[in-house]
Amino acid sequence: MSGGTAILIKLGVRLVVFGLVFFIATRKNPKVIVSKKRMLPVVALVFAILNTALYWLLAPLLNVATLGAAGFLMPFVVNMVLLIGTVKIFERWKWFEVQGLMTTLWMAAFLTLAHGALYLGLDYFPSRF
């Protein structure tokens, strides 16, 4: 697979997985609100693009900033920052809202679990076999 094709496939898989995470979160937690249900794929796409594009930039920078002391927490912190960024993007139209700090932490934890599964399935295992 060429570089461009591989990136598009990874982005598509991330869109589906993060879309499922957002869908489940809106069903299980009343403080995660998507006002227009048809906008859920758009919210998932924006988060997937931010996650794909910015994660590999932010994680090393934050790791250097903390001198590697909090390296095991970096995926959680970066996903929380990306979640807050996604909320800020849609804040103007009130399409996506996460109410409260605990809800943000809860959502970031589930996004981090999904991110870890995606890392194992798309990056770690394919390069080993």
pLDDT in tens, the chain (129 residues): 578 898 899 889 999 999 999 999 999 999 999 999 999 999 999 999 999 888 888 878 877 888 877 777 888 988 999 999 999 999 999 999 999 999 999 999 999 999 999 999 998 898 888
> Which helix (H) or strand (E) covers residue 34, if one does?
strand 32-34
pLDDT value for 55: 84
For the chain, the domain total comes to 1
pLDDT value for 1: 58
CA atoms of 39 and 116, how far apart (whole Å): 25
> Whole-model pTM?
0.89
Pairing of β 96-98 and β 32-34: antiparallel
pLDDT value for 49: 93
Domain that holds residue 113: 3-128
